[in-house]
Amino acid sequence: MKKAIFLFICALCTLPLKAQASDSHENSYTKIEDHDVLIDYVYKEANLKGVIDYQVFKKGYNAYFKTQSRKKQLLTIIDYSKPSTEKRFFVIDLKRNKLIYNTYVSHGVNSGGRVATRFSNTVNSRQTSLGTFLTDTTYYGGNGYSLKLDGLTHGKNDNARRRYIVVHGADYASEAFIKRNGYLGRSWGCPALPRSLARDIIDTIKGGSVIFAYA
């Protein structure tokens, strides 16, 4: 059985990304049992049990699979159901089936305190948006090196550009801040990362990878 699954995964990985996302290929292997086998395989191979909730990973993987415009075999999951004092930002390399980053990430100042409970797509709400995002290009702005995002979920995050929702580093998104204050600092809606990791993460996920924000 394991050998059969391995051959199945290898066959998928040899196809180009556009082929993996096409309707014809989707019909060839996304019968529910096959798709679940694939998700189970990646979850186990990446040693995600006890790190990311399986159902959250499944939703994130499905969002990745449905995003035909993706250009990288990377999936970032932000699990806002977890408090900000936990590492809830995950970057998974789906080519190597490996978790490559797991760190802290902020939520919007109007989304809640230690736990985010309110979410918005509205300009100037200063709340976090949920749904599927696609990463774009980088720039230097008021928060330093930053990554532009396009919101792909209609009505939930498709105002990301208008709201200037970007990935950036921040001093308040660090473990040191938590130790001093008992909680992580909050942004105006951006997923802010620890400055020590922000550039490396941004350079890894920029240019067409999927981010799935869940709560």
Q: pLDDT at residue 31 above 60?
A: no
What mean pLDDT do residues 120-141 have? 98
Q: pLDDT at residue 113 above 50?
A: yes
What percent of the chain is predicted at pLDDT more than 90? 84
What mean pLDDT do residues 43-65 have? 98
Show the domains of the chain with their CATH numbers: 2-214 (2.40.440.10)
pLDDT value of position 33:
66
Amino acid in the structure at residue 119: F
What mean pLDDT do residues 94-115 have? 98
What mean pLDDT do residues 172-185 have? 97
pLDDT value of position 17:
42
Least reliable range by pLDDT among 12-21, 94-103, 196-205: 12-21
Q: pLDDT at residue 16 above 80?
A: no
Rounded CA gap, 97 and 106, in Å?
A: 26
Partnered with residue 99 across adjacent β-strands are: 92
